Amino acid sequence: ERDCTMIEDITKKLEDVIDLLPPIPAVMTELLQALGDKDIELRALASIILKDPLMSMNVLKVANSAFYRLPNKVATVDHAVKLLGMKEITGICIACGAYQSLKPPHNIETFDLEDFWRHSVATGVVSRRLCQELEILDHNVLYFLGLLHDVGKVVLDRFAHDMYKVVVRTARDENITIQEAEKRLIGESHDVVGGWLMEKWKLPWTFVDIARYHHTVAESPDDNKSAVAIISFADRLAWLHYLGLFPDFDVTLLTNNEAYSFLEGTSSTIADIDLLKFMRDLDTTHEEIDEMTRIFHS
């Protein structure tokens, strides 16, 4: 009973921390409201984005990055909106707004944020490639979902940095998952906390579900389960690629999980993917990952 009370107290404190975190930029709220208008014009979207100079700058950086490989330089936000369309621009702005809001104040000690965002970008890149291989969902939208799947870790680190260092060390030393260590030492895991944050920011439910269920695919709502499974599987592939286990690689490390099992049951093409080749081909994404990490982490 005492342990339950302690965890309830910690959970309440975590919710309070989320309330104290900076809100997503006002321009993001305005943009999401505008997207609810079916008759919204692309020019109107561009005018909303232009109200935030930092977001405008990042939209142009992303539009001109190796991610899109556009043949000609995009010089204006209006041009970027016309070229990329509503879904793409929304994804870029949500990602930029989230990164902007989660950036810690100066002189605040944090865990390795560059490494964190690099993994987030890598998960987005892998998600995009998986969607292209499987020919399901919108591969660029999944990219931006992948960028934000682990935001709960940033909240937990901000809530209790010294304790979170112990969490990371415990997970490594005891060879347990990070969420197991989070629950044991803090009382809640980053996936649940990330879901809280996405809800606070009133982001589309797909973002909420990706954050909340990327470690528990079977529990995710049916309407977003495919997207959650792609992000969950991409998260795993990105970590394994980062660990560099080639050439002695056990393919069951890739397939022995509920995300792969779900995709196997819903996609007739996943069994045709040579996963070892897919992993090797990720070496070609380093430039793209480096560039996007610089954009969002700067």
Is 1's pLDDT higher than 80?
Answer: no
Cβ(91)–Cβ(204) below 8 Å? no
Q: What is the pLDDT, as a whole number, of residue 120?
A: 92
Q: What is the pLDDT, as a whole number, of residue 249?
A: 65
Cβ(204)–Cβ(95) below 8 Å? no
Query: Could you tell me the pLDDT band of residue 218, with boundaries at 50, 70 and 90?
Result: very high
Number of H helices, E strands in the chain: 17, 0
Cβ(235)–Cβ(214) below 8 Å? yes
Q: What is the pLDDT, as a whole number, of residue 34?
A: 80
Backbone conformation region of residue 74, classed left if phi is above 0, alpha if psi is from -120 to 50, else beta: beta
| pLDDT (mean) for 132-141 | 87
Query: Could you tell me the pLDDT band of residue 225, with boundaries at 50, 70 and 90?
Result: very high
pLDDT digits (tens, 9 = 90+) for 256-293: 899 999 999 988 888 888 888 888 888 888 888 888 88
Whole-structure pTM value? 0.87
Give CA–CA dist 295/290, Å, rounded: 9
Give CA–CA dist 231/124, Å, rounded: 8
Cβ(80)–Cβ(60) below 8 Å? yes
